[in-house]
Amino acid sequence: MKKAQIRMTETVAVIFIFLILVVIGIVFFSKYQEGATQEKVHEQFVKQAQEITTKLLYSPELTCTRGEAESESFCFDLMKVHAAQEAFKDDYYFDIFSFARVTVNQTYPEKKGWILYERKKPEYTKVTPTYFTLSLKDLGAGHKGEAAYRYGFVKVEVFG
């Protein structure tokens, strides 16, 4: 009888230790999954911000043009930027930019900034920004009708 009690106690102890290890494993796995999910969501926001930036860089509403239709790479026409501030308020651009803020900033020769688009997500918890440097063409500032170029960047912030 005593041997049976000892074996029963050993069996209960082994099962108890096994259950503790299983619980620790489940807790560890759930914390790992939570971190992996957060990382995936962050990657998705960064990807969305990069896609919006790419769409913006090649949008005909903003790009500089030479002659008839040839566009200049990574260049925004300041006259178009001023016009886009009003045009981007249209609901059409929500399909392109979603919940984001798009700003164009001039850093040289003087600092200026323009908010082109802004729609904040209600109760957003995070903002993911991306930046891209570009030239800003000012047709009215050059000598003898030539364009003057400035230096700046575009900042796209995605709300999540």
Q: Tell me if 48 is assigned to some domain.
A: yes
pLDDT band, residue 12 (cuts 50/70/90)? very high
Residue 20 lies inside a defined structural domain of this protein: no
pLDDT over threshold 90, residue 16:
yes
pLDDT at 145 over 80: no
User: Domain span at residue 104?
Assistant: 35-159
- Residue 118 has a pLDDT of 93
Is 67 a member of any domain? yes
- Confidence (pLDDT) at 139: 80
Given pLDDT bands bounded at 50, 70 and 90, which one contains residue 142? low
Give me the pLDDT at residue 152, please: 95
Is the pTM for the entire model greater than 0.85?
no
41 within domain boundaries: yes
Give the DSSP letter string of 59-87.
-TTTEEEETTTEEEEEEEEHHHHHHHHHH
Predicted pLDDT at 1: 66
- The tens digit of pLDDT for each residue in 75-125 reads 999 999 999 999 998 888 998 888 999 999 999 889 999 999 999 988 888
* Confidence band for 18, pLDDT divided at 50, 70 and 90: very high
The chain-wide mean pLDDT, for the chain, equals: 88
| 152 belongs to a structural domain | yes
Q: Using CA atoms in the order 65, 69, 73, 113, what is the torsion angle rounded to 10 degrees?
A: 40
- Interatomic CA distance for residues 156 and 127, integer angstroms: 10
Q: What total number of domains does the chain contain?
A: 1
Most confident region among 19-28, 50-59, 116-125 by mean pLDDT: 19-28
Say if 59 falls within a structural domain: yes
Q: In the predicted model, what is the mean pLDDT of residues 121-135?
A: 88
